[in-house]
Amino acid sequence: MTLQTYFMEATYLVASILFVLSLKGMSHPETARRGMFMAEAGMFAAIVGTLVGTEIVSWVWIIAGLTIGSIIGAWMAIWVPMTAMPQRTALSHAFGAFAAAMVGIGEFIVRGSELGAITRGALGFEVMLGALTTTGSLIACGKLQGIIHGKPIQFRGQNIINLLVALSMVGCFVYFWMHPEAAAVFYTMLGLAFVFGIMLVIPIGSADMPVVMSLLNSYAGLASAATGFVLGNNVLIIAGTLDGFSGFILSVLMCKAMNRSITNVLFGGFGSVVAEATSNVGGVMREISLDDAAMQLAFANRVVFVPGYGLATAQAQHAVRELAELLEARGVSVKYAIHPVAGRMPGHMNVLLAEANVPYSSLYEMEQINPEFPSTDVAVVIGANDVVNPDARDNPKSLIAGMPILEVDRAKSVIVLKRGQGRGFSGLENPLFFKPRTTMLYGDAKSTLSHLAQAVQHV
Ligand code: NAP
């Protein structure tokens, strides 16, 4: 081994350790930022190690790639708003998976017939998974951005067609593995994988996109691990496997949070808006004035804020913290209830509230806070809808039946901050808004919270 190779292997070891530590760090909001920096440092070490330890064919392509990639990455990090983070992540998965597929195609062209059986298998796997993740992630991105309709696209015989496409793709993979010179079969497998990625994601509604995305994340990771096998690159194998399995674990955890199985997410067509699936909705929504709401809050003993997607769109995280501080100064106990799928990405509410310096000790997970609602004087729902929909608990026919919710309807009083009659992601009506203990405070969450804070000061 040359000195350069030693250096490369050493940086790979350091990078791998940093990746493991970064995952550990990201498992808690308090250490998540540090975890992110560790991942960045690990990636930087891996790139430097590769550049030093590998024979460089052309610096021009590498510098061009680094420059274009850095510009696009910086542009995305600076300009893409927090609310568009899920689609941005989907786009990143598409890029990563496409890169893995391209490396596989390149390897096939350069030394396809020389590869041993195991490497050939890894190459086929990499190209297949990379290609289907590319198109699947692009469709997911389009659905989340609203470019493609968010409703599930379903037609008669869809599962059979999907199965046929999947079987043909796997058949081509096996044939290519046995006959590596069969270029036509290899490219047919590639084409089928692109088609399969589309077919896999179009029948899934946008409400289920986060689960799909973490599954696609897992596929992109496994494709990268396969790339590592093909190129004999250890850091790719380790990083890809970590990515693959953490993505899978996240998918399982999210399914648990929505009380659904992965099979149900992939083949259930959830997210279609079926109006008659909502029951028990009747009566009127009662409006509350700003001053009355401020009065309730100022004289309460216990207040729980329940943030949802509307908090993110309104960017109301600072406004809620300011109101909370005013209430606490008056001796009110203030807590924040965090639902695992509130917002549009895992940990969305934690990230927003952390940005506004809300102390972690004030954030309570669903299981912790639900028993406290009956003794809560006022639950303030800020732009949340599906995650507080009692139909999920009470109506077995509801499309979100079984999804665990924040049981705000058990609080002594509920004030809902939203702009109007807009529905949540699932498109369902929410019986909470019609309950006798619920009152509605209409307006953009940020300005409503600021006005509430002013009103509380005058109580
Ligand atoms: P939600 O059900 O989507 O409801 C958001 C509510 O916020 C809407 O009813 C809307 O009503 C209100 N709103 C929007 N902008 C507002 C503003 N500027 N000010 C005040 N209110 C505003 O949100 P959620 O309760 O957080 O539930 C999340 C949903 O998204 C779940 O169905 C979940 O499964 C799904 N999902 C989650 C993730 C994830 O990983 N967290 C990702 C994708 C999808 P108005 O229009 O009347 O204001």
Q: Which two tokens stand for residue 212?
A: 């799909």
The answer, yes or no, to whether residue 13 has pLDDT greater than 60, is yes
383 closest CA partner among 347, 346, 339: 339
Instruction: Give the model's pLDDT for residue 281.
Output: 63
**Per-residue pLDDT band at 11 (split at 50, 70, 90):** very high
In a domain, 42, yes or no: no
- Tell me, yes or no, whether 237 and 357 share the same domain: no
Angle at 183 between CA 178 and CA 188, to 5 degrees: 95
Angle at 354 between CA 351 and CA 355, to 5 degrees: 85
Is 240 in contact with 225 (CB distance < 8 Å)? yes
Is 215 in contact with 262 (CB distance < 8 Å)? yes
> 102 alpha carbon to ligand 1 midpoint, in Å?
37
- Tell me, yes or no, whether 288 and 261 share the same domain: no
Query: Which residue has its alpha carbon closest to ligand 1 atom 2?
Result: 424
Counting every residue written for the chain, the total comes to 459
Give me the mean pLDDT over the 94-103 stretch. 93
For residue 172, count other CB atoms closer than 10 A to its CB: 23
- Tell me, yes or no, whether 180 and 217 share the same domain: yes
- Tell me, yes or no, whether 119 and 235 share the same domain: yes
Chain-wide mean pLDDT for the chain?
90
Instruction: Give the model's pLDDT for residue 291.
Output: 96
Q: Known catalytic residue: 394?
A: no
Phi, psi angle pair for 107, to nearest 5° = -65, -40
The answer, yes or no, to whether residue 262 has pLDDT greater than 80, is no
Give me the mean pLDDT over the 311-317 stretch. 94
- Tell me, yes or no, whether 417 and 442 share the same domain: yes
How crowded is the C-beta side of 335, counted as CA atoms within 13 Å? 21
Lowest mean pLDDT: which of 2-11, 242-251, 261-270, 298-307?
261-270
Q: What range defines the domain where residue 147 resides?
A: 80-267
Domain end point (choices 267, 301, 317): 267
Residue 265's H or E segment, with its range, is: helix 262-267
Taking the chain, what is the end-to-end CA distance rounded to the nearest angstrom?
A: 76
Ligand 1 atom at minimal distance to the Cα of residue 341:
41
The answer, yes or no, to whether residue 103 has pLDDT greater than 70, is yes
- Tell me, yes or no, whether 242 and 348 share the same domain: no
Ligand 1 atom at minimal distance to the Cα of residue 307:
26
- Considering just the CA atoms, what is the radius of gyration of the chain in Å? 25
Instruction: Give the model's pLDDT for residue 280.
Output: 55
- Tell me, yes or no, whether 134 and 167 share the same domain: yes
Is 379 in contact with 424 (CB distance < 8 Å)? no
Query: Which residue has its alpha carbon closest to ligand 1 atom 15?
Result: 310
**Per-residue pLDDT band at 156 (split at 50, 70, 90):** confident
Number of domains composing the chain: 2
In a domain, 55, yes or no: no
Residues of the chain above pLDDT 90, percent:
64
Query: How far is residue 148 CA from its own chain's centroid?
Result: 18
Query: Which residue has its alpha carbon closest to ligand 1 atom 45?
Result: 422
Largest CA distance in the chain: 81
In a domain, 71, yes or no: no
Tell me, using a 6 A CB cutoff, whether residue 452 lines ligand 1. no
For residue 32, count other CB atoms closer than 10 A to its CB: 17
**Per-residue pLDDT band at 238 (split at 50, 70, 90):** very high
CATH value at residue 369: 3.40.50.1220
Instruction: Give the model's pLDDT for residue 320.
Output: 97
Give me the mean pLDDT over the 329-356 stretch. 90
Tell me, using a 6 A CB cutoff, whether residue 346 lines ligand 1. yes
Measured between alpha carbons, how far is 119 from 112 in angstroms, rounded to an integer?
Answer: 10
* DSSP per residue, 366-407: HHHHGGGGGG-SEEEEES--GGG-THHHH-TTSTTTT-----
- Tell me, yes or no, whether 298 and 317 share the same domain: yes
Range 366-401 burial, b when 16+ CB lie within 10 A, else e: beebbebbeebbbbbbbbbbbbbbbbbbebeebbbe
Strand order from edge to edge, sheet including 363-365? 363-365, 333-338, 302-307, 378-382, 413-418, 438-442
**Helix residue spans in 80-202 (DSSP H):** 85-111, 117-145, 158-178, 183-201
- Tell me, yes or no, whether 283 and 258 share the same domain: no
For residue 224, count other CB atoms closer than 10 A to its CB: 27
Domain end point (choices 248, 267, 286): 267
- Tell me, yes or no, whether 285 and 152 share the same domain: no
- Tell me, yes or no, whether 226 and 282 share the same domain: no
What is the residue type of 131? A
> 422 alpha carbon to ligand 1 midpoint, in Å?
9
In a domain, 185, yes or no: yes
User: Which is catalytic among the residues 208, 243, 291, 386?
Assistant: 386
The answer, yes or no, to whether residue 32 has pLDDT greater than 90, is no
